[in-house]
Amino acid sequence: MTDALTSLPEPRHPDPADAPPLRWGVLGPGGIAADFTDALHRHSRQRVVAAGSRSAERAAAFAAAHGVERSHGSYEALVADPEVDVVYVATPHSEHLEHALLAIAAGKNVLIEKPMAVTAAQARQIVAAARGAGVFAMEAMWTRYLPQTDIARQLLERDALGEVRVVTADFGGRAAYDPSSRLWNPELAGGALLDLGVYTVSWASFAIGAPAGIIASGTLAPTGVDDQAALVLSSASGAHALLSTTLRAGTPSLATICGSEGRIETDSPFWGPSGLRVFRADGTLAAHWRDPYGRPYRDGMAYEAAALARYVAEGRTESPVHPLAEAVDTLATIDEARRQLGATRVE
């Protein structure tokens, strides 16, 4: 086991520019769409060729600011654009169902910002529509496609950690309380779990699969959304995941996978390009991999876009490393956690 932990595997796709180019349309030109577009243009051969908004002025301003060829004053016009191969749904997650279905009905491949929908039931509607239309669909859980995550995946595939027993992850940030804002408004599917906690639940799913048991504890904001949550997830094999998320304080944003023969500890933030340490069962450091590629934070979104382009070229209709069923399961876990917390929810 020592050799397996000391000689770490190389990331299999360290350069997003290795993927065949696709023409992208951005649906919802907000902050995350801006970072996504810039990341693609800086680090890959993917090109955003159109932006669509309910406001023609907003779409045109986005296009001018980010080197995008065309803009559309409606979402319907964007998804009907014959020059668009794939639609990136970047609207608030309370609107993901409507906008994903719109793109799918137009026959477009879709990348849907995380979480894919507000509930597992909504996500199942998206999956059914995509499969019925025969288009590619993927949740934009970009953490799955980062170089350090691929190293962790290869170690798990080789059983280098032995039997996985404990998984941890945290993601918290301090957000000013504004009951009308996206984070705090139940009408907009606010709350820590859907905004930040989805990363931690997805990390647990990556390491131990869908949970057999869920215990949630936390607090609610005056609007009724969850502002802090701690989850204990148990697997059928007896492994546990200990997860936390909050809108009230910044947290380290670290994640671990602990097995009988060794453990992985990510650098911070685990959800973006960073690095990882690998320890032997006796606690000694076996290796420390630091991301050398110079694509920090949201620049790492180029990796998920490149992965999607490769999958489409291979004739796939979903991601092999983050299948649609897993995105649904992650939302089912969050559904149950929110139910236990008594969080206000809008279906």
DSSP 98-111: HHHHHHHHTT-EEE
CA 311 to CA 321: how far, in whole Å? 11
* Residue 5, domain member (yes or no): no
DSSP class of 248: B
Residue 172: other Cβ atoms inside 10 A: 21
Please report, for the domain that includes residue 275, its CATH number: 3.30.360.10
* Residue 2, domain member (yes or no): no
CA distances from 98 to 118, 136, 186, 332 (A): 11, 17, 17, 19
Residues 129 and 151 in one domain: no
Residues 182 and 289 in one domain: yes
- The domain total for the chain is 2
Tokens of 328: 């649904």
pTM value?
0.96
pLDDT at residue 270, as a whole number: 98
Residues 130 and 91 in one domain: yes
Coil, helix or strand at residue 243: strand
Of 142, 169, 204, which one is at a domain's C-terminal end? Answer: 142
CA distances from 309 to 111, 218, 276, 303 (A): 11, 39, 27, 10
Coil, helix or strand at residue 244: strand
Of 142, 159, 189, which one is at a domain's C-terminal end? Answer: 142
First to last CA, the chain: 48
| Domain limits for position 160 | 144-341
Place of tokens 């050799």: 3
Tokens of 66: 């980010």
Helices (H) and strands (E) in the chain, counts: 11, 14
Residues 157 and 247 in one domain: yes
CB 281 within 8 A of CB 1: yes
CB 291 within 8 A of CB 273: yes
pLDDT at residue 3, as a whole number: 65
* Residue 347, domain member (yes or no): no
* Residue 4, domain member (yes or no): no
Tokens of 97: 């169902």
- Sign of the torsion angle spanned by Cα atoms 89, 245, 164, 6: positive
Number of residues that make up the chain = 347
Of 113, 142, 171, which one is at a domain's C-terminal end? Answer: 142
Give the DSSP H/E element, type plus range, for residue 139: strand 137-140
Spell out the per-residue pLDDT of the chain, length 347, in tens: 446 788 899 999 999 999 999 999 999 999 999 999 999 999 999 999 999 999 999 999 999 999 999 999 999 999 999 999 999 999 999 999 999 999 999 999 999 999 999 999 999 999 999 999 999 999 999 999 999 999 999 999 999 999 999 999 999 999 999 999 999 999 999 999 999 999 999 999 999 999 999 999 999 999 999 999 999 999 999 999 999 999 999 999 999 999 999 999 999 999 999 999 999 999 999 999 999 999 999 999 999 999 999 999 999 999 999 999 999 999 999 999 999 999 987 66
62-66: long-range pairs with CB below 8 Å, 24+: 62/26, 62/29, 62/33, 62/34, 63/29, 65/34, 66/34, 66/37, 66/38, 66/41
Of 314, 306, 270, residue with least CA distance to 291: 270
* Residue 11, domain member (yes or no): no
Please report, for the domain that includes residue 58, its CATH number: 3.40.50.720
CB 311 within 8 A of CB 129: no
DSSP class of 158: T
Residues 199 and 332 in one domain: yes
- Sign of the torsion angle spanned by Cα atoms 157, 158, 160, 162: positive
